[in-house]
Amino acid sequence: MVVIEVVRGDITEENVDAVVTAANESLLGGSGVDGAVHRAAGPRLAEAGAAIGPCPPGDAMATPAFDLDPPVRHIIHTVGPVWEGGDQGEAETLASCYRRCVQVADELGARSMAFPAIATGVYGYPADQAARIAVATLRSTPTRVKQIRLVAFDQETCERLTVALREQ
Ligand code: APR
């Protein structure tokens, strides 16, 4: 059974098999968590992203982790929904991001993975709703991954995820 935990920190310092980044469709790199992941993994990450992209919202695609320290071997790039008020299918797209990342991790044979709070930064998804979707989707997606770490960069996200994990 998968163990899901919430931690506060920088996802580029996680010791897991696969790190998820909240990318844009180009997979060429951006700001926020994607900027941090690209800086840590080095310039080959953007080249690898260009080779497999674009990635539509709700989907996920993997590349090597390049300069990230072991045990990290894979970066899973997913593209969240841009928040437009909630009636444009944002919840379904966000759930699909979490589900597809776990499926890709399974295909790669990863046993541990770390997620950022997808779509809650630049893309504007409300943190409390996003946390509930993250936890509900991860709990209901069958997987061989043993450990999932939800990495919160700020205190509010950490609290939202902790509440969602406790209540669901
Ligand atoms: N580690 C973990 N989480 C982080 C880090 C980090 N180093 N840096 C930022 N975050 C957090 C943010 O605080 C936020 O809670 O990641 C969450 C997602 O925020 P964004 O990175 O802005 O991602 P998103 O809202 O999905 O927007 C994606 O931003 O960077 C661009 O190319 C990306 O255009 C795309 C858009």
For residue 116, the domain's CATH number is 3.40.220.10
pLDDT per residue as tens digits for the range 85-114: 999 999 999 999 999 999 999 999 999 999
Closest atom of ligand 1 relative to the 120 alpha carbon: 25
Per-residue pLDDT at 104:
98
Output the average pLDDT for the chain.
Answer: 98
Q: Is the pLDDT of residue 42 over 90?
A: yes
Is the shortest distance between the CB of 98 and ligand 1 below 6 Å?
no
- Segments forming the whole domain that contains residue 66: 3-167
Q: Is the pLDDT of residue 168 over 90?
A: no
Any idea what DSSP says for residue 154?
Answer: S
Per-residue pLDDT at 89:
98
Sequence-distant (6+) residues with CB within 8 A of 21 are 11, 33, 34, 37, 38, 75, 76, 77, 78, 116
Per-residue pLDDT at 76:
99
**What is this structure's pTM?**
0.98
Measure 116 CA to ligand 1 centroid, in angstroms.
Answer: 7
Sequence-distant (6+) residues with CB within 8 A of 113 are 16, 17, 18, 19, 20, 76, 101, 102, 105, 145, 147, 148, 149
Q: Is the pLDDT of residue 24 over 90?
A: yes
Provide mean pLDDT across the span 133-158: 98
Catalytic annotation, pick one of 34, 59, 69, 87:
34
Report whether 131 contacts 157 (CB < 8 A): yes
Q: How far apart are CA 159 and CA 138, in angstroms?
A: 18
Is the shortest distance between the CB of 90 and ligand 1 below 6 Å?
no
User: Count of domains in the chain?
Assistant: 1
Closest atom of ligand 1 relative to the 36 alpha carbon: 7
Per-residue pLDDT at 148:
98
